[in-house]
Structure formats: structure tokens, C-alpha cells
Chain A
Amino acid sequence: MSGKKGNTSDSRKNRSDEQTMRDVQREDAPVLKIEHMSISFTQYDRGMHQTSLPVIRDLDVEVHGGEMVAVVGSSGSGKSLLAHGVMGVLPYNADMGGRITYCGEELAKERIKKLRGREIVLVPQSIAYLNPLMKIGPQIRRGSKATEARKKLRGIFRRYELDAGVEELYPFELSGGMNRRVLISTALMEEPKLVIADEPTPGLDLAVAKRAMAHFRELADMGAGVLVITHDLELALEVADRIAVFYAGTTVEEASVQDFEHEETLRHPYTKALWRAMPRHGFQYIEGTQPYVKNLPTGCSFAPRCPHCGAECAGEIDYRIVRGGKVRCIRAE
């Protein structure tokens, strides 16, 4: 969160011209479209020997205006990198492939620099993303002392039941749940068209988590595209329109929320395993862990844990449409 000033009226005017152009395009184009995204890291192995670590291999997801899509995946599957990839804030040793389009136009490096923090906002995963040496109020206002900004912030705080005194506190002085609400507040300072929320709710109690999700829902209902990255399938099911299930670097299934009412309407064996692991559906688990990116199996990455796995699962597996959703499994029908 930088404290840069100098957003003159000139640049604001240019932006609104651009905006009208884009509004025309938006009618049919999704706000965000990610195709075949891949992200890999270059690491030093031994001495000067470098290796490449493919964390995301093949990720597809689409978010339309007014829609809330949740990318749900296991911890350690590289979900956060998806957000960082879109925002252009990947670390220097990361390499991104594939295509990202925003409102029908390719989202290049220069473009995201202009848009992030204004039209495209990221709500980060951890309070570690806040500046620990800056008070909450100025931090969210990005140093602006304008009465308007102050008023707006106070309104947002009221919405999240945060005391006005919180503005004068440092991040370490807040409880876990309060910190989270502060992070969500940062997204609402501008009027964003695309909100990417990276794990917005862990550590919030159920009521507040639902309310936080409801606020993202509100943003979607106001016309913004909302992409929520989460491991919390149960919560996502309550508010999202569609769920993209992410496993070991790939999206294995894209399904509507209604498909999750019964196990039979789901398509991929991993999604079904997730469904059965919910406390209300039996709390059953399957053995094993998600494969580490260094030793991914060829073909289907879920194969080692899959009860229906056969020889043909080792080949290339297409992401295809089955019963109105998408699935990356040759056996789904």
C-alpha cells in the first residue's frame, strides 16, 4: 500500500473517458478472463544450478460483471499466486504464461499498473501485508487527509462495526478478526470493477465471515466482478454463483453452486471427496496429500488418490464441458 499522491484532475478525466469506452465493451466481454495461466518459479538447486518449479500449470477461470466466482483449492496449491499474477505483483523469480484479459482487452504489465488499486483491487490474505509502522486510518486512506476520504472511511468502518478509534491504532493492536475487517475496508475506498479477494475470511467468526462475504456479494450485485480465492468451500457455497475447484496447479472442475447440493451432480472425483469431507456430509477424508509440484504425475494430478484411476488417466486430459459445467477428468459423464 503506497502513499503516492498526485492523482490530478487531468488524469482522472482521461480515466473516465477510458472508462466509457470500456463500458461499451463490457456488455459481452467478461471482466476477467484467464486462459491457460501457468506460473513457475526459478530456484537455485545446488550452487549455480537452476530449476524451474511449475506451481500453476493450467488454470482457466472467467468472471463476468455482477458475478461472484470462487476459486476453491487446497492449501499450498498456489491459489494466492493466481491473485498476484493478475495484479502483476509476482516476485522477481516467477514466470507467468497464458493469457489474461480484462474487459475484453489483454491485461499487460503497464495496464495493470494503472488499474490496480483503482479499478482492480486486491484484498490480501494476511495482515502481514499491512505496513506495521503505519496507523490504520492513514494507511487505508493512503495518506490522504481530505475530508471526503475521512468521511468515506468512517462510513466503511461503521459498516464493519469497527470503532472510529481503530483509525488511530497500529495493525498489531487489533484482534485477528478486526484486522481482517480492516483489510476488507481497503477494497471499498475506491469503486472497483474487479475485486480479487485472497482468503478474505479465515479467523472471522461465522456471522462476521458471512457478513464479509455478503459485502463482496453486494459489490457483485452493484456490477463489479468478484473473484474470491478461498479454501472455505462451505462459505463460498453460501454466497458465490460459480465455484472453480483448483487442485495441484490446475482447475479440475467448474460448477454452479446448485451442483453442490448433491454428490451425484458433481463431476470430478476430487470435488466429490471435498463434498464428503464437509462436517455435515460425514467428515470423511481420503488418504494422501496433494502432490508436490516437483513430482507431479503425468496426466491427471489426482490419479494417485483417485479410486477410479486407470491407465488412460496418464495421458493428456482435456478441460471439457459436462452437464453445463467444466471438468478435467476423462471418466466424468
Chain B
Amino acid sequence: MKLEIKNVSYRYTSKGRQILKDFSLSMENTERVGLTAPSGYGKTTLCQLLSGYLKPNQGEILLDGRPLDSYQGYCPVQMVWQQPEFAVNPRLPLGEAIKEGDEIEERVIRGLGIEPDWFGRFPTELSGGELQRFSLARALGKRTRFLIADEISTMLDLITQSQIWHFLVEEVEKRQIGLIAVSHNPELIDRVCTRKIDLRLLDEKNR
């Protein structure tokens, strides 16, 4: 299965800055692609476009040859956000957040180190790292084919970061889920990904 971005351009408002211009990228579901670029280069925008949260002004995003927005119901491309505290409903206990996902397996929950005690707690009662484990579990539903990880481990300590990435790499390999990892840490990308892309270089080529 292939995830493709074809000649996508995007700006938030009609007079706003051109964030992506004629951007193209293609990846297989067996790949793990690492994206790097400085702040403000549109990494998060790209992630949102890829997972269907935003629609491109021009160009198209294809999953398996079909436009992404033609998929009804559960989106096979799932995104995990940089700041988990904004990605969960503050008024519901975290057990409910897990139910928003697509039949999350017990194995995933255990693999991410989620403690049974956390299910009854509210988002303000958990730390960023603990919340991020829930966001990850929620995104790893049964029908997920691509996972977009936007700076998911910036708030984690080194041991947890290593634990979570080891689990994720094993999980996506086993289930043949394509992974896009956005990170500022080049050493981490080297450890995790099979291919590296620097948005800055792509940008220069386009100009």
C-alpha cells in the first residue's frame, strides 16, 4: 500500500504564508520515514494534511491510489500530536479516550506501559508522557495503515523514549503499518527510520 502526496500546496488563509508549495512525497507501508526541518517549516501542517485534518489548496493526497477523503468512517492514516494534553478530552477519564480508537488490543496497551490505574484518571492528573502513551494506543487501532508521529517523544525521558520507540518499530513492522516520524533529533531518526527526508532540501529543490 502506498501513501502519496502529489504536488500539494497549502496556505492557511488566502493571503497567508505559502507553507507548502508543489510538495510531493511517496512512501510504502513497509517504510519508516523520518522528517526533519526547523520550526515553522510546515512539518505539523504536512502531518495534518496527510491524516486528513486539513485539505490541500492544490494537489492531492492518495492512499492506495484513492483520494484520502474518499475513505468513509475510520481514517486509515492516524496522527499522533506533539502535545497530548490538547489531544484528549479534558472532561473524560482516559479509559474513554482509548474507546475513541478502533478496537485497541490489550497487547498494545501493555506494550506501551499503560498502567490499569490510569484508565480512571482525568487528563490533568497524568503527565505529558503518560498521556502520550494513551494517544499512541488510540492511534494504533485495527484499521490503521499509516501512523504519523509528530514529535511524539519530545516530552519523554530517555528511557521511556527508547521503550516507546522500540515498541512502535516492532509493532509497525509486524502489522506492516507505514510510519512517518517527525523529530528534531537526528540521532533518534537514524535509530528509528529506514529513510530520511529534510524538508529544507526539498524546498530548495522546488525553488
A residues adjacent to B (C-beta < 8 A): 72-77, 126, 128, 175-178, 199, 202-209, 231, 233-234, 273-274, 277-280, 283-286, 288-289, 292, 294
A205 touches B39 (CB 8 A): yes
Cross-chain contact of B191 among A77, A126, A283 (Cβ < 8 A):
A283
B130 touches A178 (CB 8 A): no
B residues adjacent to A (C-beta < 8 A): 36-40, 44, 82-83, 85-86, 113, 115, 117, 126-130, 151, 154-163, 165-166, 184-188, 190-191
A175 touches B44 (CB 8 A): yes
Given the contacts A126-B83, A177-B39, A203-B82, A284 and B162 also touching, CB distance less than 8 Å:
yes
A209 touches B184 (CB 8 A): yes
Cross-chain contact of A199 among B44, B155, B187 (Cβ < 8 A):
B155
- Measured between beta carbons, the chain B residues less than 8 angstroms from A206 are 184-186
A75 touches B127 (CB 8 A): yes
A285 touches B184 (CB 8 A): no
Determine how close the nearest CB of chain B comes to the CB of A71; give it in whole angstroms.
Answer: 12
- Measured between beta carbons, the chain B residues less than 8 angstroms from A286 are 159
A285 touches B166 (CB 8 A): yes
- Measured between beta carbons, the chain B residues less than 8 angstroms from A292 are 115, 117
7 nearest A-B pairs in the assembled complex, by CB-CB distance: A75-B129, A177-B39, A76-B127, A279-B187, A285-B162, A202-B154, A277-B158
Given the contacts A128-B85, A176-B44, A177-B40, A283 and B184 also touching, CB distance less than 8 Å:
no
A73 touches B157 (CB 8 A): yes
Given the contacts A126-B85, A280-B187, A283-B162, A202 and B39 also touching, CB distance less than 8 Å:
no
Cross-chain contact of B39 among A208, A231, A273, A284 (Cβ < 8 A):
A208
- Measured between beta carbons, the chain A residues less than 8 angstroms from B191 are 279, 283
Cross-chain contact of A204 among B39, B44, B86 (Cβ < 8 A):
B39
A285 touches B163 (CB 8 A): yes
